[in-house]
Every structure is written in C-alpha cells, then in structure tokens.
Amino acid sequence: MNIVMAVAECVPFVKTGGLADVAGALPKALARLGHNVTVILPKYSLIPDELQQQFTKQDEVKFEFKGKQASAGIFAYESEGVGYLLLENDEYFAREGIYGQPDDAERFAFLNRGVLAVLHSLPLPADIVHVHDWHTAMIPFLLQEDQQYAGLNEGLQTVLTIHNLQFQGNFPPETFTAIYGMDSQYLNDDAVLWHGNLSMLKTGIQYADKVTAVSPTYRDEILTDQYGEGLQQVLRARQDDLLGIVNGLDTDAYDPAADPAIEQTYDASSVSAGKAANKQALQRRFGLPEQPDTPLIVMVSRLSGQKGIDVLEDTLPELVEKEDLQVIILGTGEERYERFLRGLAADHPDKVYAYIGFDEALAHLLYAGADIFLMPSHFEPCGLSQLISMRYGTVPVANKTGGLQDTVTEYDEGMQTGNGFLSDFSRGRTFSGTLKRCLSFYKQPEDWRMIQLNGMRGNYSWPRSAEQYAKLYERIKQTEE
C-alpha cells in the first residue's frame, strides 16, 4: 500500500515532542511490513546542517496561495526504506522555532497546500494520506471541498491521528477565507468553524475517513466532557470511526544494550551492574552523594500543568525532607514550575538537582541510571517516557490516565506481575501514597528485580502498533471498494 504522511515535525530532522518520535518511527515500521511510505514535512532552517547536506533538490511545485502564485522547493531524503520530501520556503520555515509564531495559521496552511501540490504534481502514488494533529488536519477538508483536487480525491482515503486534543489550531474565522482562499459558505459548524472560530483540528475530525487517538484509553477519554477539550460533541458524532492505537517505541533509538549516550550498556541479564554504573555517573555529574543504595528518582518532562508538576509541588517537599532518596528532574516549561524546582534543589542540594533545559543525551543517562521514573500527569494521550523507562529497567510511578493506564500495570507481589505503580486521582489514590508504596518495594530486592524485569521484557516496539495501522488502512480501502 502507498502511504503518504504529512507532519509538522519528525525525527531525525526536528523535534519538540512525541509527535516527532511517532512520525519518525511509524513510517519505518510500516516500511518493514512492506508498505511504500513517504513523509512530507517542512524544510526548517533548524534542521542540522549535516542532515541538510544529504538532501537532494528534486523539484519545485507552484500553487496558488492567498490569491497569488507561491512555490516550494522539494528536497528528497531516504532512510531505512522511507522516503522523505521536505518543502522549502524560507518565508515560512526559516524560523528560530517550529511553533508559537504569530503567523502559524498561515505557515501551516502553506504546508497543507504544499502537500496537496506535491500529490497533484509529482508521480507520487498514494492510497492513504495520514495527517497528524492540527497542523495538517485541513488536508482531508481540502481534498473533499476544493474542486481543484477533485481528480486527486478519487480513490484517496485519509486518516487523522490526534496526538494531543488540547492543541486544536483555533483562529479567528476571517483567517479561513484569508489564507485558504475559499468561499465563506464553509464558515459554519458543519464545515470549518467551531464556537465561532476556525478550528483546524475539529475540521479534520469531521472530514477524515478515520480518526485515531494514540492510545485506547485516551480514545475513550476524549469522548467525555472531562477530557474532550470542547470537542467531545464532534468526536461522539464520529466515535464509530474513532480508534485508539497505542504508540510504540523506537527500540533502536532506546536500547540500553547499545546506547552510546549512557555510561555502561546492559541488558536484562546485567541490569543491576549496568544501572549501578549509570547511577554513579549521574551522582558524580550533579554532585550528589555516591550512595548506591539510595533510590534515585527522575523525571524528564515538559514542565506544565498537564504533566502534573503541581502534584510534585504537593508531594516532593515532604518526601525529600523525610525519606532517604535523591531526585533529578530534567525539563523546561512554565516559569512557576521552574521556580519551584530550583527552590527545592537550593533547599536540598545533597538530594535534589533541577536541570532546567533539555539535553537528549542526558535524558538517556537518566533513564539508565534511575531507579524510579515519575509521571504524575493529569492526562496523557500516550506517553513515551514510561515505555522508555521500563525498557531501561527503571520503574514508573504514574497516574492512571490515557496511555499510562494502557501500558503501566500495578505490581502484584503475590503473582509477581506488573511493571510499575499507579495512582488514580479520580478515586483518591494519591501520587504521594503510590510513590511511598513504590519506595517500600525498592527495599525488597527480589520484588524490585522482578518489577524491573517485567518492564524490560514488555513488548513496546512499533511493529505491533504499525500492524494495527496497516489493518486500519486496509479496512478503509476495502470499504471504499
């Protein structure tokens, strides 16, 4: 099957979050299943020079945009059986950041039009166009409603994946006619508007042939008033076409047995020695006492309300004061949370280190050297950190929501099953109490090793998830035929 993916970010080119990881890993897994996959994304100036030097200028597409002729250079790259086409336009993509620009609506409208121009102009076979989040969610609408794509739309099906419903691409209604150049007849809730604004994600939900969420539990959650982010009514109308597929993990990129970023590689047979060496490396690097038996707790996260940093404000100060433990947190985000972590580290320099920023290599070392990984998220569409931590033998303590509920199972000491520990804010099972329960098992070596091994032996690879996407594509095609 010929699959074209349209995304705003993708590993190894640019990354701000989990979307890029999925866009980098899923196409490779689909290619290994025998499918022909092409990924189309912007050619950002932020892409490392060593990668850009490997691009080949292939062509240029011209198309009408905002009432005038526009163009985008097409650069090709290939890796692990996947073809990549990167659209060059310095006006929109030569920026210091990927998101948060005042003209984001226009920039990603250009991307949508550019993707369709590539499909229209190049000999690029496509059975499925798979779009991700609001940045490319207008493509299904344009395929159905813009007459210039009438021939292209024939036999072409679309899938939209929602990675985080909180980000919807909402803009003033006049934005639609200004940047898409289409008739005002579409300015209604049955087409592109929602609550008076252009909503790109909502439009994609209505127009895509199928919609997926990045975990089965998140799929169910977003149908509710609590998690629907104002779109629950739209999603309920499409719930028969809404499927939850849990994200996989790029097990090549995250492999403790071959990870060049960690101090000492290890596998399930050598987990104790390997983690001890990596823990010591972290303690030395951040000036923490080199105490091998003291539990080391880490978190790698965006510092935002969604991620439950407010929960840590209520949990960590008392635990740090009373318990024998060490904490290292890596992340950046809201100023109030950065201030809280800096203050906690200043008050307890022998127990806490706050690294405000991001460092990919350090993140790998944290997964490898830690004993416990924190994920107190209020909601989590899928989450990759819990998958990475388990692969590295680090035990997750997470809140029971979204993909965390689908991947982390509570340890049962009687059956010796389970790979972590779960709080449940909806049922009064506090994160503090759950973390204390986890720490109690840390003092029981046999149970602790079993929890680690259960996590390391789990199947979190992309092939399993990719097979579910492939079956979805096949069902769409069969239904159309």
Q: State the CATH number of the domain containing residue 173.
A: 3.40.50.2000
CB atoms < 10 A from the CB of 35, how many?
20
Tokens of 36: 């022909």
Q: Please say if the pLDDT value at position 284 is more than 70.
A: yes
**Rounded CA gap, 193 and 203, in Å?**
8
**AA identity, residue 110:** F
Give the model's pLDDT for residue 481.
Answer: 58
Q: Looking at the domain assignment, is residue 253 inside a domain?
A: no
| 15 annotated as a binding-site residue | yes
Mind listing the pLDDT tens digit for each residue in 27-72? 999 999 999 999 999 999 999 999 999 999 998 999 999 989 999 9
Alpha helices in 189-308 (DSSP H): 200-207, 216-221, 232-237, 271-285
Q: Looking at the domain assignment, is residue 278 inside a domain?
A: yes
pLDDT band per the 50, 70, 90 thresholds, residue 466: very high
CA 402 → CA 210, 229, 396, distances in Å?
A: 20, 14, 15
Task: Provide mean pLDDT across the span 217-224.
Answer: 98
Q: Looking at the domain assignment, is residue 436 inside a domain?
A: yes
Count of structural domains, the chain: 2
**Rounded CA gap, 77 and 79, in Å?**
7
Note whether 359 and 279 are same-domain residues.
yes
Give the model's pLDDT for residue 103.
Answer: 96
Question: Long-range contacts for 27-30 (Cβ within 8 Å, ≥24 apart)?
Answer: 27/3, 27/82, 28/79, 28/80, 28/81, 28/82, 28/250, 28/462, 29/248, 29/461, 29/462, 29/463, 29/465, 29/466, 30/3, 30/466, 30/469, 30/470
Give the model's pLDDT for residue 480.
Answer: 65
Task: Provide mean pLDDT across the span 227-237.
Answer: 97
Three-state DSSP at 354 gives: strand
E strand or H helix at 51, and its extent? helix 49-52
Q: Please say if the pLDDT value at position 472 is more than 70.
A: yes
Note whether 140 and 279 are same-domain residues.
no
Give the model's pLDDT for residue 17.
Answer: 84
Note whether 397 and 471 are same-domain residues.
no
Q: What percent of the chain has pLDDT over 70?
A: 99
Note whether 473 and 324 are same-domain residues.
no
Q: Please say if the pLDDT value at position 141 is more than 90.
A: yes
Note whether 434 and 467 are same-domain residues.
no
CB atoms < 10 A from the CB of 375, how many?
25
Residue whose tokens read 């689908």: 406
Q: Please say if the pLDDT value at position 478 is more than 90.
A: no
Note whether 167 and 307 are same-domain residues.
no
| Structural domain span for residue 418 | 268-458
User: Per this entry, what is the length of the chain?
Assistant: 481
Instruction: Report which of 382, 317, 413, 456 is spatially closest to residue 25, judged by C-alpha positions.
Output: 382
Tokens of 398: 């997470």
Give the model's pLDDT for residue 292.
Answer: 97
> How many whole angstroms from its chain centre is CA 250?
12
The torsion angle over the Cα atoms of residues 282, 284, 287 and 291, rounded to 10 degrees, is 80
Q: Please say if the pLDDT value at position 90 is more than 80.
A: yes
Query: 421: which residues sit within 8 A by CB, 6+ positions away?
Result: 395, 396, 397, 398, 408, 410, 411, 434, 435, 437, 438
Note whether 118 and 193 are same-domain residues.
yes
Rg of the chain over all Cα atoms, to the nearest angstrom: 23
pLDDT band per the 50, 70, 90 thresholds, residue 477: confident
Q: Which residue(s) pair with 273 in the sheet? A: none
Q: Looking at the domain assignment, is residue 255 inside a domain?
A: no
Query: 459: which residues sit within 8 A by CB, 6+ positions away?
Result: none
Q: Please say if the pLDDT value at position 423 is more than 90.
A: yes
Task: Provide mean pLDDT across the span 158-179.
Answer: 96
- Are the C-beta atoms of residues 319 and 289 closer than 8 Å to each other? no
Note whether 474 and 440 are same-domain residues.
no
Q: Looking at the domain assignment, is residue 368 inside a domain?
A: yes
**Rounded CA gap, 285 and 437, in Å?**
29
Three-state DSSP at 461 gives: strand
Q: Looking at the domain assignment, is residue 221 inside a domain?
A: yes
Note whether 449 and 468 are same-domain residues.
no
Q: What percent of the chain has pLDDT over 90?
A: 91
Note whether 240 and 311 are same-domain residues.
no
Give the model's pLDDT for residue 427.
Answer: 83
Q: Please say if the pLDDT value at position 256 is more than 90.
A: yes
Give the model's pLDDT for residue 225.
Answer: 97
Q: Are strands 210-213 and 157-162 parallel, antiparallel or unpaired?
A: parallel
Mind listing the pLDDT tens digit for each residue in 357-376? 989 999 999 999 999 999 99
Note whether 227 and 370 are same-domain residues.
no
Query: 302: which residues sit within 8 A by CB, 6+ positions away?
Result: 17, 331, 332, 333
The larger pLDDT score, comparing residue 154 to residue 332, is at 332
Q: Looking at the domain assignment, is residue 261 inside a domain?
A: no
Note whether 163 and 295 are same-domain residues.
no
Biggest CA–CA distance in the chain, Å, is 69
Give the model's pLDDT for residue 229.
Answer: 97
- Are the C-beta atoms of residues 424 and 397 closer than 8 Å to each other? no
Give the model's pLDDT for residue 301.
Answer: 95
Q: Looking at the domain assignment, is residue 257 inside a domain?
A: no
Q: Please say if the pLDDT value at position 235 is more than 80.
A: yes
